[in-house]
Structure 1
């Protein structure tokens, strides 16, 4: 169900008209004979009414109506997927290193954007220009013109279906389905159903340009038969697909192939949950276009994940059975116990658009998987790739940082039906980070090139300082920045950052500032009462046992040496470099038996699971960590 949004967002300037966009929707609806509610609902699903400053989406779409001109926007794209960059080993298993010549970084796929740019779905902006006589440049950059272009496309789709213009929103279901540009009836109907869900629920918000837009709820039962005239193919689902019926989902398998010399790709066959519990769902972004993403996951010399989600309409492709283990998180312990979801987008480009359509289908998929594997809907189990810890000290600095500070965790969890809310009073012993995404804009650099300022944009992250002042230095992260430990405001730097939904133990409070225990130090963030960036919480915390000086923290919950049978090499269990004083407290995420999944051969019959002593997962910093139960005691932190 769509959730009404609070009327928040960037403030309009004193001399601006913050209702101009609302008026543009009314004018375009009247001019082209489209019900205003339908036009607003389509735009909300495409962009949540944001114009993104005239920047293009990852699929070459522009403006509130996501009019596409992929040839202009993407012809020079050379992205090859985020696993191809950096030093992280996506498999994250030092007992079976990936052959360097054959793994991420090799030119194993080419970008297919130019071919994709010629499809009808990728060329709606030129068609809108022809229908409206509005120049293409104006459709890209002027929000009112863009809305008019979208209205003209809807009206044209209605005519093409042989249906008359109508004031009744129920009559426009087929035209809305056509607007999606989908290739199958199922995908088109998922888009249309979501539009009508928004229409029935209503929404209101302030856009990224400070425009106040409201869609009043409209009670409507759409005439779904109007989609028949689209003539889109209706295909049965592949029996391998594991997706809810409310999403469009294809089976595009990743290869399990013997490459010779003991090398194989690009995943491991397993039997979860019988072999191991699935505790995590890991949220990634692709750092590549849809076509490139699909090329890469089908390359046996690359790596793998379970699902990919398309930005434009939320279309899902499943690549692995969920019982099998993908190579995606950079930490073998997490890989063996997780399902990986890749979302088309670019974390350093906030206007690459994590679309509403993609958020909604992703949330449906996560709810489905969470029910199937009994995974709690919280940020201790639904984690970003940027929250996954390096398995050893040598790996921490090279871990990936997607989906980044522009992923809207608060909205995502609203769609999951598990919104972040206070569970304790004003002196709660824990806090859950929960800034207002639209108005929270910490400011980042390194978008596009080193040192380049990122465009002002909403964010679900707060910045952490060494004292209660914006002028105080950022907290240090000796793991992410070995040597000097100095954190930065870089969009990829997670060293002094806490994100929406993460829960931390409170270390102190001072006026409008709250301090949390973070990487062994007090970390302060601005949390004023009139615009809070966190809510109070209660729960379990881990602290050091009496007599201990520090709490050893690990990047993976591996068994002790005595747990290994003679035929399985013992895996090292070495604490991370962080020094955590024993009197500090860290929020506990989950309890787990230590496990090591031994999978170094192509034959899954030779795979083994070794289990040992108990661990707790804690919120160590921006990334999670693990502590041995024998090293800590648990306390209830409430009030």
Structure 2
């Protein structure tokens, strides 16, 4: 079993190469490697783009141990066991009507000799090129040569000539993916040829200018993939778009112990309840460990897992059923959970473009199927899910964290975050430039130690318009009144890309938003803005109310519960929405509670009341207020 690839900062040191290459050096490296190994330059560039978007990440490995622009894998570089959801004590079900499931932390120790070939491509590249493994890891030029050698070797093993026509390399590209099934290998190759047709160009994380000339006429010879000899996955029960390679690996619905069962609940969505949210997670574990855990009936569950190396998808639950993944039963009952192979606390354990693209296609499909708006109040991170009651707030999970690239993700979703109002608008959309915006974080490896500098989609919020001012407080995370911190897992003073907030004040290069019942300031200079103007409905306490309670779930009133279904408390969180403050209004939702505490589904009941709520962007996490307590202001 491959253990979690929690790659330490020490193993992620940047290259020691002394020279500072010119801004076109990487483009020349691609051209030279393509010529040396007789690989079409467009194929080499497109494969690299799908893996890394041509970034080198300072020589640091990806979440699956891949290095450099070509994502050559060397999983032996750093293996450590960090089982999924084993931290912070969150109840993934988030329902006080049932006992908290015990955490599972007994993942297998890895057998390094049994690592799959997809995690050892750097070793093969070293054998083919004669370039030392360390240089393949740290030198972008050498890494590109290694990738070209692997493509040429794949072409040769498929019995194909080293053609100058990109269309003849489809099979070799499919093999390069490292996928062990035909569908995923072909999906990877299809994406590479989409890249060739679109012709991207960008400046990399090291300041290199790289461009791929669009070839809209390329039509790959898909017959060249006939000899891959890969397995065929079981996709009969999967619910995925045709553009995604999906495998059915079911989570068990089993009874165990005395009156207990796992690891999800049967339901009849959307007939029983609407599906309103898609929750983005990272696994905090390797692919194999993730699959091991989701198949444990005494563990928890989610609908889909996505593999970093090639974007392969495994579906575990039918979409009509309810997974235990978000830590809030109201959200679980009305959401779909996507787990992405990755690690929040390692900023340089980067996600591949292949996984981002597959995830975006899957989310587009799900959003269309359930009429879910593509915005940040419906496509949320696990770190945006609210605590259910005051006591659960400190234990809520913080993935996918500040290093998930929401801006790029929503561009792939076809919903880029663009200004919809002028710079003086009453609402802003958070949108820093991911690559250049690098706020300092701590506690990635050890408490209080500085994290490696890295792009981030999150802005930090202060009590006054100056960088030296304390960070705003989060009364739920710190009931003692202590300030928030710059810890990577501290969400108390953080606004993330795509989230929208009502503006409270502006002073020079600083903007204040209403956040957790207070003014929260962030640096937003005109020369390099971290937010753009937006039009959105906002709400405020209705006239005569000094303050409005805020909730972590939208449960019905007590009188709505039938006999035999315990009334669930509607408990306010330790925050207040005060008169004069405004918050962006999201989903208007009826109070609902899905009562499901027995293995026998005949007793499962959806309780609906007359109480109606609004979801709001209240802090970093969303929250709910009763519609009767507020008035909505027009856009």
Common topology (TM > 0.5)? yes
Q: Give the match for residue 227 of structure 2.
A: 229
Cα distance change of structure 1 residues 116 and 629 upon mapping to structure 2, 3 Å threshold: farther
Q: Give the match for residue 628 of structure 2.
A: 630
> Equivalent of 1:282, from 275, 279, 282?
279
Task: State whether residues 56 and 73 of structure 1, in contact with CA within 8 Å, keep that contact through their aligned partners in structure 2.
Answer: no
Give the CA deviation at 1:15.
6.1
Gaps of 5+ in 1: 1-12
Q: Helix, strand or coil: the match of 1:42?
A: helix
> Equivalent of 1:66, from 64, 68, 71?
71
> Equivalent of 1:362, from 349, 359, 362?
359
Distance in 2 (CA, whole Å) between partners of 1:116 and 1:206 is: 38
Q: Verify: 1:617 aligned to 2:615, yes or no.
A: yes
Distance in 2 (CA, whole Å) between partners of 1:495 and 1:215 is: 42
Q: CA RMSD in A?
A: 1.5
Give the CA deviation at 1:374.
1.1
Q: Give the match for residue 524 of structure 1.
A: 521
Task: State whether residues 273 and 323 of structure 1, in contact with CA within 8 Å, keep that contact through their aligned partners in structure 2.
Answer: yes
Give the CA deviation at 1:580.
2.4
Q: Give the match for residue 298 of structure 1.
A: 295
Q: Verify: 1:584 aligned to 2:581, yes or no.
A: yes
Q: Helix, strand or coil: the match of 2:338?
A: strand
Distance in 2 (CA, whole Å) between partners of 1:493 and 1:487 is: 7
Q: Give the match for residue 26 of structure 2.
A: 21
Q: Give the match for residue 10 of structure 1.
A: none
Distance in 1 (CA, whole Å) between partners of 2:112 and 2:425 is: 54
CA deviation string 1:134-164 (max 9, x = no partner) = 0011111111111110011111111111211
Q: Verify: 1:45 aligned to 2:50, yes or no.
A: yes
Instruction: Give the 5 Å matches for 1:154-169.
Output: 154-169=151-166
Cα distance change of structure 1 residues 507 and 24 upon mapping to structure 2, 3 Å threshold: same
Q: Verify: 1:453 aligned to 2:446, yes or no.
A: no
Q: Helix, strand or coil: the match of 2:572?
A: coil
Instruction: Give the 5 Å matches for 1:76-475.
Output: 77-81=80-84, 83-99=85-101, 103-104=102-103, 106-112=104-110, 114=112, 117=115, 119-219=116-216, 220-235=218-233, 237-475=234-472
Distance in 2 (CA, whole Å) between partners of 1:480 and 1:141 is: 40
Distance in 2 (CA, whole Å) between partners of 1:64 and 1:285 is: 22
Q: Give the match for residue 481 of structure 1.
A: 478
Give the CA deviation at 1:115.
5.9
Give the CA deviation at 1:113.
6.3
Distance in 1 (CA, whole Å) between partners of 2:476 and 2:503 is: 22
Q: Give the match for residue 11 of structure 2.
A: none
Task: State whether residues 108 and 301 of structure 1, in contact with CA within 8 Å, keep that contact through their aligned partners in structure 2.
Answer: no
Distance in 1 (CA, whole Å) between partners of 2:298 and 2:229 is: 39
Q: Helix, strand or coil: the match of 1:627?
A: strand
> Equivalent of 1:603, from 592, 597, 600?
600
Cα distance change of structure 1 residues 54 and 116 upon mapping to structure 2, 3 Å threshold: farther
Distance in 2 (CA, whole Å) between partners of 1:159 and 1:360 is: 29
Task: State whether residues 112 and 292 of structure 1, in contact with CA within 8 Å, keep that contact through their aligned partners in structure 2.
Answer: no
| Range 526-535 or range 301-310, more displaced | 526-535
CA deviation string 1:292-314 (max 9, x = no partner) = 00000000111100100000001
Task: State whether residues 397 and 482 of structure 1, in contact with CA within 8 Å, keep that contact through their aligned partners in structure 2.
Answer: no
Distance in 1 (CA, whole Å) between partners of 2:625 and 2:354 is: 38
Q: Helix, strand or coil: the match of 1:200?
A: helix
Distance in 2 (CA, whole Å) between partners of 1:530 and 1:193 is: 39
Give the CA deviation at 1:199.
1.1
Give the CA deviation at 1:116.
5.1
Distance in 1 (CA, whole Å) between partners of 2:61 and 2:249 is: 27
Give the CA deviation at 1:108.
4.3
| Range 429-438 or range 336-345, more displaced | 429-438
Give the CA deviation at 1:111.
4.6
Distance in 2 (CA, whole Å) between partners of 1:508 and 1:69 is: 50
Cα distance change of structure 1 residues 209 and 609 upon mapping to structure 2, 3 Å threshold: same
Distance in 2 (CA, whole Å) between partners of 1:451 and 1:139 is: 32
CA deviation string 1:278-327 (max 9, x = no partner) = 10000000000000000000001111001000000010000001110000
Distance in 1 (CA, whole Å) between partners of 2:602 and 2:348 is: 46
> Equivalent of 2:62, from 45, 51, 57?
57
Q: Give the match for residue 594 of structure 1.
A: 591
Give the CA deviation at 1:238.
3.2
Give the CA deviation at 1:98.
2.0
Cα distance change of structure 1 residues 500 and 89 upon mapping to structure 2, 3 Å threshold: same
Give the CA deviation at 1:425.
2.1
Q: Helix, strand or coil: the match of 2:578?
A: coil
Distance in 2 (CA, whole Å) between partners of 1:115 and 1:618 is: 51
Give the CA deviation at 1:526.
1.3
Give the CA deviation at 1:234.
4.0
Q: Give the match for residue 7 of structure 1.
A: none
Task: State whether residues 308 and 317 of structure 1, in contact with CA within 8 Å, keep that contact through their aligned partners in structure 2.
Answer: yes
Task: State whether residues 81 and 107 of structure 2, in contact with CA within 8 Å, keep that contact through their aligned partners in structure 1.
Answer: no
Give the CA deviation at 1:358.
0.3
Distance in 2 (CA, whole Å) between partners of 1:14 and 1:539 is: 49
- Spell out structure 1 runs of 4+ moving beyond 3 A: 13-16, 106-109, 111-116
Aligned residues: 616
Distance in 2 (CA, whole Å) between partners of 1:211 and 1:482 is: 47
CA deviation string 1:181-222 (max 9, x = no partner) = 111211111000101111111112222222222222123111
TM-score calculated relative to the size of structure 1: 0.94
Cα distance change of structure 1 residues 295 and 559 upon mapping to structure 2, 3 Å threshold: same
Cα distance change of structure 1 residues 232 and 30 upon mapping to structure 2, 3 Å threshold: same
| Range 89-98 or range 574-583, more displaced | 574-583
Cα distance change of structure 1 residues 270 and 556 upon mapping to structure 2, 3 Å threshold: same
Gaps of 5+ in 2: 1-17
Distance in 2 (CA, whole Å) between partners of 1:530 and 1:156 is: 49
Cα distance change of structure 1 residues 194 and 320 upon mapping to structure 2, 3 Å threshold: same
Give the CA deviation at 1:406.
0.6
